[in-house]
Structure 1
């Protein structure tokens, strides 16, 4: 049955040449770009037209705070226009002029081992380095001009450079190892290689999820145990009450990088760690959250744990991987896919994987991304409801307002833009649901 299906698919693909494939890829890229641009323009116009604090916000937001948040939102949207245009032009040129194949030829010429695995790793490294360098001017502008202007950037030039070098080296080591395993499985896994590939990648992803926070993240930021005191005692009491298997409680020195705030937990099975950004803790200048507000934020995070949101996301991710690899197994031997990006003689499996997952499956990836955004919103409301049931509604609302103030979040959103982009519900919608949930418990 599988052989018959493959033959039918191959017959249908015979009439599709590389020009059709290339034009289809470019069409999909530009269609997504234009859609994203349209949504951003809607949000830009929404922010530009909203000059005064709306009546429903006057009691919770000062005029100057609203004005600064509006300017920050407009600045980020403008930067986004430029960055997305820069990206689509480069990507289009790479596909149209067969740059991927030219880089492959160079990689093969400098590969001392002359093997597909080593050439593929060199190819990936060159592409990654080139992409990093091309994006560097925009990254520098965003960090040292835009973020600096609004008081968020805390990085020095030296810290920034060393951070980028470390990130590049570590990512190349991990990517090279994974790519080597992937190529070997595809070439030697037989007819059902995608099943073995999926199983191995599942294991690798779980390993990375386990070791990243404990091994890799500390290479970039300093993690220290939360000092003994009232906050630590309260957090441990909350974890004990909920039977959350807390083993470590850290503060990460995020203030060396940015003044944005966050908190999260990580760890599999019966070993969980909670991490607070030092920017989340209350400061003399009025930024940060009180102990009660931090406990409310953590109640929300523990709601994600209680409802098994992390596990559910992992399951969705693994099912998605299986579908992607299964689709790749059907298409990766189709010659026009390779010719469309300049490979007329060779069909390197990593190139096929890249083209299929990145470009051919683009409509599927876009739809999945939107559905995951919808799912994430549902999870956020469930986690908020969990905090409400713990009696934290008032403090969670205060924390959300404080975090919005500290992060200069603009609370007025275009409905389409928000539905497409915001994995967390907008501030006003979230507070409205919080108050409604709290009122039901009275």
Structure 2
């Protein structure tokens, strides 16, 4: 019972309260004069945000129901059932942990489908077919099974082999995060999207000149076929070391000027200049360290409540279920430093183009992506990795 109360009071209730604070704020803002968007798009962006917030509230209720299921019945049931069907040893433990990954994916599938083909479709963002949606789901599931199975096997070996297993587990998982960041652009992302070298020679030359000015060495500038799934605009730098590459959404090339695109890339180069990627990895390391430290100090009563023996596999299962609580209260700290980094990146990006050019590009993005420009301060504290656009524009001396 303590586990359920902890999950409810420390995660579900606060997150739902934040959602309703944001809902109330947006409804109030919609009654005022439109800013940054024309009146029609302002209302559209607000309604889109409201629908997503209501859906997220439903999702939180589903998460709570699923957590209660695991603690009261599911964990002990699947632990015994896997043994009854003949899975023993490592296969039993890995299958048990993989079920914790895959069952929530299946339970929340209707909500994901509704988000994509009802909400996003109605607001003009969803471009993908139902077939592609399920192909993505299949690929994600297979990757989870293959990579998750290997990681769980090694992690359980570490936990069973060392006295300070939680420290070894932290080192292993932090290494996995670093490797994942390094291989994602070249091995993982191409499984879902097509990446082609940028063909616009003039734009490519201007981007390479911009990269050289900052000392950013990449293995290429690529265009991603984002439009086959979504109509929103974006660009990013992916990878670590020699795997670094510049990725431009094809939607971005279609709807923003070359000067605006270069201003956005200048902002991203600000993150590179200030080593924000490394800082983000360090922040992830702190979170993983805290997670494994807590895993090593779970009360025996938690295992008794879930009717499970206290061992390495069940410890991972419980900490996995409680990771939402821990990450939720970690968000304000992560968000605070992330928003500071965004201001620094804006300031640096403005030196590569101009404050006006970057501000115009940001306004263009919010118009195309239909992002509502106003939020409740407490919601920002927990969920915003970027400062509200109004504050970013003021920092760039943009007249609103």
Contact in 1 for aligned 2:335/2:385 (Cα 8 Å): yes
Which residue pairs with 2:392 in the alignment? 430
Count residues in correspondence. Answer: 399
Deviation at 1:94, TM superposition (A): 2.4
Deviation at 1:52, TM superposition (A): 4.7
Match 1:227 to one of 185, 199, 212:
199
SS in 2 for 1:246: coil
Match 1:329 to one of 296, 307, 316:
296
Contact in 1 for aligned 2:126/2:230 (Cα 8 Å): yes
- TM-score for both structures, normalised by structure 2: 0.94
In 2, distance between residues paired with 1:363 and 1:44?
22
- The superposition leaves residues 397-436 of structure 1 with CA deviations (integer Å, 9 ceiling, x where unpaired) of 1111111111111112112212221111111111111117
In 2, distance between residues paired with 1:404 and 1:232?
25
Gaps of 5+ in 2: none
CA 328–237 in structure 1, closer or farther in 2 if over 3 Å, else same: same
Contact in 1 for aligned 2:4/2:68 (Cα 8 Å): no
In 1, distance between residues paired with 2:62 and 2:70?
12
Gaps of 5+ in 1: 1-21, 283-287
Deviation at 1:47, TM superposition (A): 1.5
Which residue pairs with 2:381 in the alignment? 419
Deviation at 1:219, TM superposition (A): 0.6
In 1, distance between residues paired with 2:237 and 2:348?
16
Q: Look at both structures and tell me which one has the larger radius of gyration over its CA atoms.
A: 1
CA 103–35 in structure 1, closer or farther in 2 if over 3 Å, else same: same
In 1, distance between residues paired with 2:154 and 2:277?
26
In 2, distance between residues paired with 1:366 and 1:143?
24
Contact in 2 for aligned 1:30/1:88 (Cα 8 Å): no
Identify the range of structure 1 (127-136 vs 420-429) with the bigger mean alpha-carbon deviation: 127-136
Deviation at 1:385, TM superposition (A): 0.8
CA 204–226 in structure 1, closer or farther in 2 if over 3 Å, else same: same
Contact in 2 for aligned 1:294/1:399 (Cα 8 Å): yes
In 2, distance between residues paired with 1:44 and 1:281?
33
Match 1:376 to one of 320, 326, 338:
338
- The superposition leaves residues 100-139 of structure 1 with CA deviations (integer Å, 9 ceiling, x where unpaired) of 1111111222344x10x21121112333332222111111
Supply the RMSD in Å over aligned alpha carbons.
Answer: 2.0
| Pairing 1:302–2:269 present | yes
Contact in 1 for aligned 2:10/2:325 (Cα 8 Å): no
SS in 2 for 1:281: helix
Which residue pairs with 2:133 in the alignment? 160
Deviation at 1:363, TM superposition (A): 5.8
In 2, distance between residues paired with 1:75 and 1:401?
23
